[in-house]
Amino acid sequence: MKLICLSSSSKGNGYILSAEGEALVIEAGVPLKAVKKALGWNLRPIRGCVISHSHADHCGHYMDYAKAGINVLAPADVFTIPHNRNHPVVPNQGYKLGGFKVAPLEVPHDATTYAYIIDHDEMGRAVFVTDTYLFEYYVPAVHHWLIECNHEIEIVDAAIEKGYVHSSRRGRIMKSHMDLQTVKEVMTRSDGSKLRNVILLHLSDTSSDEARFIQEITAHTGAAVYAADGGVKIDLSKELF
pLDDT in tens, 85-135: 999 999 889 999 999 999 999 999 999 999 999 999 999 999 999 999 999
CATH for 12:
3.60.15.10
In a domain, residue 184? The reply is yes
Among the ranges given (26-35, 64-73, 87-96), the one the predictor scored with the smallest mean pLDDT? 87-96
- Predicted local confidence at residue 161, as pLDDT: 75
Q: Over the stretch 172-203, which tens digit does the pLDDT of each residue have?
A: 666 678 999 999 999 999 999 999 999 999 99
Burial class (CB in 10 A: 0-12, 13-18, 19+), 68: middle
Domain span including residue 197 = 2-235
Number of folded domains that form the chain: 1
Whether residue 60 is contained in a domain is answered as: yes
Give the pLDDT band of residue 152 (cuts 50, 70, 90): confident
> Which whole number is the average pLDDT over 66-82?
97
pLDDT at site 17: 98
Classify residue 241: in a domain, yes or no: no
C-alpha distances in Å from residue 101, one per residue of 4, 5, 37, 93, 173: 19, 20, 25, 11, 32
In a domain, 108, yes or no: yes
- What pTM did the predictor assign? 0.95
Average the pLDDT over 41-54 and give the result: 98
> Average per-residue pLDDT in the chain?
93
